[in-house]
Amino acid sequence: MIKGEWVNWRAGVLAAALALSASPALAQTTPVPLPKPLLSGTTSGVGWGIYADGLTKAGLQEEGQGLRVGVPTGAGVLGTRYDAAKRTALLTYRLPKGLDARSALAFATNQLQLQGFDIGKRTFPEASSARATLSRDGQSIEVQTMRQANGDMQVMYVFGSLQP
């Protein structure tokens, strides 16, 4: 190998080593893969998904993957339902130790706040129910939590329209 070839070869090896050492930094900017949603759709131009588990803080904060909501760790999803006429998505789950309506509301609104929603009005009509309104970039969503007599938790997401 002549001197010029040696320098080029060495520069190539160095570039490859730098590329490999930079891969953890690249992994941080790679979109976080999400599990398959139990229920998903688009309402008022907003894509959304309800997940059984696997939502991490990083996954919730990832841009461009639509609105994502899930259940607390250890919860068993009992069902989901979407009503297009009312623009609502309902999630029903059960936790081994139970969860009150306020705690369920705090969990649900925290997930939305991690996605850039600002929390507005919160109300607690009775011990078994709570609700909050959130907004982001002209979008609004109301979250209603209701603890059933058997301990099951229902969380209803009411999708608002885009504000002019």
CB 55 within 8 A of CB 68: yes
Q: Model pTM?
A: 0.76
Give Cβ neighbours of residue 114 (< 8 Å, ≥ 6 apart): 57, 60, 61
Give Cβ neighbours of residue 76 (< 8 Å, ≥ 6 apart): 93, 94, 95
Residue-by-residue pLDDT tens, the chain, 164 positions = 555 554 444 544 444 443 434 434 444 556 666 778 899 999 887 889 999 876 777 777 776 667 899 999 889 999 999 999 999 999 999 987 878 999 999 999 999 999 999 999 999 999 899 999 999 888 899 999 999 999 999 999 999 854 44
Q: What is the DSSP letter of 37?
A: P
Give Cβ neighbours of residue 11 (< 8 Å, ≥ 6 apart): none
Given the DSSP bridges, would you call strands 67-69 and 46-50 parallel, antiparallel or unpaired?
Answer: parallel
Residue 118 and residue 140: Cα distance in Å, rounded? 9
* Helix runs in 22-100, H state only: 23-29, 57-61
Residue with tokens 């997930």: 111
